[in-house]
């Protein structure tokens, strides 16, 4: 059970989930289709608008193994990036793409995130659709520090951004062990 009395982990105002918090959060989501959407967002580490794009462009989910994501940022260094997925990521993205509907608007899903956090007994401070992406990168950096290059390329960041924002968050030893459950098989 998550210690909901711990201070929320925030980076630039965005909540980074501890593993136990994420379990509480996902279990508070009442509909399986929304759980699938949230898990796809987490395990892909993709931006919200990228996952909306993927739903409309399912062929970018190559061999149901990885995502070939074109850049949606005009100033991006790389025009295409490969989003690496572990087994849980492959399952989550497959389930999301089989869903009846794409992700709702960013604003509507932010409201859902807030409602689910409260239902889970979590402080909703900083929780938004950006939380899953930032959580995933933090967890990968903690679990695979020797693979930062692969992590930040998969996430579409520079080394500077990845090092500055995603590697310095304090997780307990127990949380680090728990993170491994989620990221296992990513490398």
pLDDT tens over the chain, length 187 residues: 445 567 888 888 999 999 999 999 999 999 999 999 999 999 999 999 999 999 999 999 999 999 999 987 777 667 888 999 999 999 999 999 999 999 999 999 999 999 999 999 999 999 999 999 999 999 998 999 888 888 888 887 666 665 666 667 889 999 999 999 999 999 8
How confident is the model at residue 6, as a pLDDT?
76
H or E segment and range at residue 82: strand 80-84
CB of 61 closer than 8 Å to CB of 67? yes
For the chain, give every domain's residue range: 9-177
The CATH class given to the 9-177 domain equals: mainly alpha
pTM strictly above 0.75: yes
Nearest to 37, CA basis, from 164, 175, 139, 129:
129
CB of 71 closer than 8 Å to CB of 81? yes
CB of 176 closer than 8 Å to CB of 170? no
**Rounded-to-integer distance, Cα 18 and Cα 150, Å:** 23
Contacts of 5 (CB under 8 A, 6+ apart): none
Contacts of 139 (CB under 8 A, 6+ apart): 19, 179, 182, 183
For residue 62, the SS3 value is strand
How confident is the model at residue 1, as a pLDDT?
44
CA end-to-end distance (rounded Å), the chain: 28
How confident is the model at residue 179, as a pLDDT?
97
Beta bridge partners of 82: 68
DSSP state of 149: H
Maximal CA-CA distance, the chain? 43
Cβ-based burial of 179 (10 A; exposed 0-12, middle 13-18, buried ≥19): buried
How confident is the model at residue 120, as a pLDDT?
98
Q: 151: number of CA atoms within 13 Å, CB side?
A: 27
């Amino acid at each position: 059970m998550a210690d909901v009395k711990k201070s929320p982990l925030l980076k630039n105002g965005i909540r980074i989930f501890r593993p136990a918090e994420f379990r509480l959060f996902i279990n508070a989501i009442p509909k399986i289709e929304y759980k699938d959407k949230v898990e796809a967002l987490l395990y892909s580490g993709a931006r919200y608008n990228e996952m909306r794009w993927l739903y409309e462009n399912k062929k970018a989910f190559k061999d149901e193994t990885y995502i070939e994501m074109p850049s949606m940022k005009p100033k991006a260094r790389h025009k295409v990036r490969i989003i690496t997925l572990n087994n849980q990521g492959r399952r989550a993205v497959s389930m999301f793409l089989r869903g009846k509907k794409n992700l709702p608007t960013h604003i509507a899903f932010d409201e859902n995130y807030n409602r689910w956090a409260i239902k889970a007994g979590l402080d909703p401070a900083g929780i938004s659709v950006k939380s899953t992406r930032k959580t995933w990168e933090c967890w990968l950096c903690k679990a695979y520090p020797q693979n930062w290059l692969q992590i930040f390329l998969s996430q579409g960041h520079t080394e500077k951004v990845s090092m500055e924002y995603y590697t310095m968050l304090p997780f307990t030893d127990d949380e680090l062990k728990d993170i491994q459950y989620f990221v296992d098989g990513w490398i």
